[in-house]
Amino acid sequence: MISTKYLLAAGLSLVLAGCHTQSNPNQETENTAQTTDPMIKERLDKYTTVKLNPSLDHLSDNQQKMVRLLVEAADHMNELFWYEAYGQQDSLMETVTDQEVQALININYGPWDRLDNHTPFIQGIGPKPAGANFYPADMTKEEFEQANLPDKTSLYTFIRRDAQGKLVTIPYHEMFAEQVKTVSNLLKQAATLSEDPDFAQYLNLRAEALLTDNYQPSDLAWMDMKNNAVDLVIGPIETYEDQLFGYKAAHEAYVLIKDQAWSERLAKYAQFLPELQRNLPVGAEYKKETPGSEADLNAYDVAYYAGDCNAGSKTIAINLPNDEEVQLKKGTRRLQLKNAMQAKYDEILVPLADILIDPEQRAFITFDAFFANTMFHEVAHGLGIKNTINQKGTVREALKEHASALEEGKADVLGLYMVTQLHKAGELEGDLKEYYTTFLASIFRSIRFGASSAHGAANMIRFNYFAEKGAFQRNQADGTYRVNYDKMQQAMNDLSREILTYQGQGDYEGVARLVEEKGLIRDELQQDLNRLAEQHIPVDVVFEQGLEELGLTAAGR
Ligand SMILES: [Zn+2]
């Protein structure tokens, strides 16, 4: 069998051969066309550029200097993530001269399109290894499982081969010894400028964690911070990049400016969780667990994205830390990334609604509703149950590979349920029609990422379920969709009950059937989605970001 590594090397030399003939400009065009994918423009067209420039005016001189250091530290995560996702960035870039291809490589942190199931867009490049660059490309699952390496499943080790070809582990802090030292020093320097002592403490602990790969003390300190105006998420965090086992964490960073006014608005909703749990539209046996009411919910503007979270589609809400021991002790923090949401709302949701939502209902598409629906999705993960009611263990164990899709589907529909209940109680402003119409438009936005991911499958199930219940109808004349508000509320309650029941029963076969029957994009809908691409409605955003955008280039600012 030819290894992926071999295919990859072959691909690169092919492109290199193309580059040798560059001296002749006519040939260069020809060669570029031969060695790259003809769909480059189409792939790039899925993105639109947005400037990331939240105001820092309310921050003191010292705080602004601190942000500058944090952005510098965050920027190093790009280099680390590049290595994890692909390997040596330089060696790939040297082979490519076309600016559009370079731009696409930068967006994807490699030669595979993240919005198209990692399809390679440079000819001769093989498929992306499932384990990215965390494992040797020629390693099989069996070889890994048989290897006697105590820290092989660690979040923070690479698997490599020694001179004899035997598998060995290399801790992140050794593989990246030089880089983590630099970042650690930047964080320590930033800590001396912090006005909030808890944030300074967190930065110092995080600086240590990068040098040792022991992140728990800094995660605990992060949960203890409450009054910091600036925040930083940095380090190896999510494991999605490791599609082989999901063991290895990838590096990323967010530099965040807290939005005090919105955070206060959010704080009050958490206290309603226990009551909302009691009122869930399902039998009492499915809602016995008590959700924590001290959920930490805050809004931020992002000043800088780097690494994993900046690759392909951009995150607009996060829920951290992932360390379950920290979660048990301190809970989690849900971060709503407001300016990133605003960008997706302005650039994608509004133009999409102008094509797919009934003209009379377009006025009900609002940012506040988009923000609330996204926020309550995060909170709704805390509702319902984590354990089956019939001794099948946790819901996650019982539902196996379908657990994530159903959990995401639950959070979406129960998020809307929370909106409905809080609106009824007079706790949420605006017309309920805004939340429902924006909810439907958001389904169209999400399913453009495809039905294969957990979120994608969840959205398709809901779309098809809602369609069958008459929650909306398609106007045959112009291909727009019109919400039937009463029926949508009924469908929301019915689907909530079904999902909670599947989870409580740990009904693997039932869920598999649901995914098979409803988790797909039917022809008519696909044609409607194609209209969005034809009219160049972007799928996601790319950020123009950095010190200059933040007005932090002048020395001493
Ligand atoms: Zn979710």
| H, E, C per residue of 382-438 | CCCCCECCCCCCEHHHHHHHHHHHHHHHHHHHHHHHHHHHHHHCCCCCCCHHHHHHH
Mean pLDDT, rounded, of the chain = 89
Q: Do 159 and 284 fall within a single domain?
A: no
What pTM did the predictor assign?
0.86
Model pLDDT, residue 26: 36
Residue 174 and residue 270 share a domain: no
* Cα 268 to middle of ligand 1, angstroms: 21
Does 379 have pLDDT greater than 90?
A: no
> How many CA atoms, within 13 angstroms, populate the side-chain half-sphere of residue 89?
16
> Residues 28, 136: one domain?
yes
Same domain for 124 and 272, yes or no, is: no
238 located within any domain: no
CA–centroid distance, 4 to ligand 1, in Å, is 33
Q: Are 185 and 326 in the same domain?
A: no
Across 6-10, 143-147, 497-501, 504-508, least confident range: 6-10
Indicate whether 327 and 433 sit together in one domain: yes
| 547 falls within a domain | no
According to the model, what pLDDT value does residue 74 have?
98
Q: How far is the CA of 417 from the centre of ligand 1 (A)?
A: 15
The answer on pLDDT for 288 being more than 90 is no
CA 351/CA 354 separation, integer angstroms: 5
The CB-side HSE value for 59 (13 A sphere, CA atoms) comes to: 27
Confidence of residue 262 (pLDDT cuts 50, 70, 90): confident
Domain boundary among 154, 179, 212: 212
Task: Quickly state the pLDDT bin for 60 (edges 50, 70, 90).
Answer: very high
For residue 408, report the distance from its CA to the centre of ligand 1, in Å: 5
Distance 412 CA to ligand 1 centre (A): 7
**End-to-end Cα separation, the chain, in angstroms:** 58
Indicate whether 5 pLDDT > 70.
Answer: no
Q: Tell me: the pLDDT tens digits for 527-537?
A: 999 999 999 99
Chain segment 485-495, per-residue pLDDT in tens: 999 999 999 99
Give distance in angstroms: CA of 378 to centre of ligand 1. 6
Better-scored residue on pLDDT, 23 or 412: 412
Rounded to the nearest angstrom, the distance between the alpha carbon of 340 and the centre of ligand 1 is: 17
How much distance in Å is there from the Cα of 460 to the middle of ligand 1? Answer: 15
Same domain? 177 vs 265: no
Q: Are residues 369 and 501 in the same domain?
A: yes
| Residue 224 maps to a domain | no
Q: What is the whole-number distance in angstroms between the Cα of residue 379 and the centre of ligand 1? A: 9
Lowest-pLDDT range, 4-8, 164-168, 364-368, 382-386? 4-8
Least confident of 204-218, 359-373, 439-453: 439-453
What's the confidence (pLDDT) of residue 297? Answer: 85
Between the CA of 549 and the centroid of ligand 1 the distance, in Å, is 31
What's the gap in Å between 411 CA and the centre of ligand 1? Answer: 6
In sequence order, the β-bridge partners of residue 384 are: none
Compute, in angstroms, the gap from residue 457 CA to the centroid of ligand 1: 12
pLDDT > 90 in the chain, percent: 73
Q: What is the pLDDT of residues 207-261, one digit of tens each?
A: 999 999 999 999 999 999 998 999 999 999 999 899 898 899 999 999 999 998 8
For residue 144, the enclosing domain spans: 4-47+58-192+207-212
Q: What are the two backbone dihedrals, phi and then psi, of residue 63, each rounded to the nearest 5 degrees?
A: -65, -40
Q: How many domains does the chain have?
A: 2
Whole-number Å distance, alpha carbon 370 to ligand 1 midpoint, is 15
How many angstroms is it from 149 CA to the middle of ligand 1? 33
Asked whether residue 170 falls in the same domain as residue 290, the answer is no
- Neighbouring CB atoms inside 10 A of 305's CB total 23
Query: Ligand 1 center to residue 454 CA distance, Å?
Result: 9
Q: At what angle do helices 485-505 and 508-518 cross, to 10 degrees?
A: 140
264 shares a domain with 181: no
Ligand 1 centroid to residue 200 C-alpha, Å: 30
In terms of domains, do 143 and 288 share one?
no
Q: How far, in Å, from the CA of 259 to the mean position of ligand 1?
A: 22
Give the Å distances, CA to CA, from 89 to 54, 359, 489, 546.
30, 47, 50, 20
Report yes or no on 254 lying in a domain.
Answer: no
Q: 236: cis peptide before it, omega within 30°?
A: no
Please indicate, yes or no, if residue 513 is contained in any of the structural domains.
yes
In a domain, 220, yes or no: no
In this structure, the chain runs to a length of 557
Percent of the chain having pLDDT more than 70? Answer: 92
**308 with 422, same domain?**
yes
| CA-closest candidate to residue 244, choices 138, 152, 141, 396 | 141
Q: Give, as residue ranges, everything with CB less than 5 Å from ion ligand 1.
A: 408, 411
CA of 194 to the centre of ligand 1 (A): 32
Does 268 fall in a domain? Answer: yes
Whether 230 is in a domain gets the answer no
For residue range 406-424, list pLDDT tens digits in order. 998 999 999 999 999 999 9
Ligand 1 centre distance from Cα of residue 351 (Å): 24
Residue 82's SS3 state is: helix
